[in-house]
């Protein structure tokens, strides 16, 4: 059974600081996704990581994937208040690419 664990589940940080969110999964998977969700809103796709060693960056966010360790990280550089949101990772469970989700990391960035 494929399980996905994120940590931390809650993170409060100051603007300008760096931090990393971790996503571990239990069995081999082909794809790893990162999504952002603002309160009361839908989910916005951030990154899709397809292979071992994949690294993608968008603005202050950088995601990486280590398939051997079954670990993905989402690194936030010089955080700004606008990045406050809940971040989810999700992993495919079969060839239909149906997603198994982590519980989410609620990120609060204080001005």
Partner 1 sequence: NAGVTQTPKFQVLKTGQSMTLQCAQDMNHEYMSWYRQDPGMGLRLIHYSVGAGITDQGEVPNGYNVSRSTTEDFPLRLLSAAPSQTSVYFCASRRQGQYEQYFGPGTRLTVT
Binding mask 76-105 for partner 1 (x = CB under 8 A): ------------x-x-----xxxxxxxxx-
Measured from the CB atom, is 55 or 103 closer to partner 1? 103
Binding of residue 4 to partner 1 (CB under 8 A): yes
Residue in 11, 43, 54, 71 binding partner 1, rule: CB under 8 A? 43
Cβ-in-10-Å burial (0-12, 13-18, 19+) of 85 comes to: buried
Backbone torsions φ then ψ of 38, nearest 5 degrees: -85, 155
SS3 readout for 41-84: CCEEEEEEECCCCCEEEECCEEEEEECCCCEEEEEECCCCHHHC
Measured from the CB atom, is 59 or 97 closer to partner 1? 97
Binding of residue 55 to partner 1 (CB under 8 A): no
Binding site for partner 1 (CB under 8 A): 4, 9, 31, 33, 41-43, 45, 48, 50, 88, 90, 96-104
């Amino acid at each position: 059974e494929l399980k996905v664990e994120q940590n931390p589940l809650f993170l409060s940080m100051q603007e300008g600081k760096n931090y990393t969110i971790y996503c571990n999964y239990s069995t081999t998977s082909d794809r790893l996704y990162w999504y952002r969700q603002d309160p009361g809103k839908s989910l916005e796709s951030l990154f899709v990581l397809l292979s071992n060693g994949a690294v993608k960056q968008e603005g202050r966010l950088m995601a990486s994937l280590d398939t051997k360790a079954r670990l993905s990280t989402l690194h936030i550089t010089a955080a700004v208040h606008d990045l406050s949101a809940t971040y989810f990772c999700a992993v495919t469970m079969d060839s239909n690419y149906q997603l198994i989700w982590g519980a989410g990391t609620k990120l609060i960035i204080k001005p």
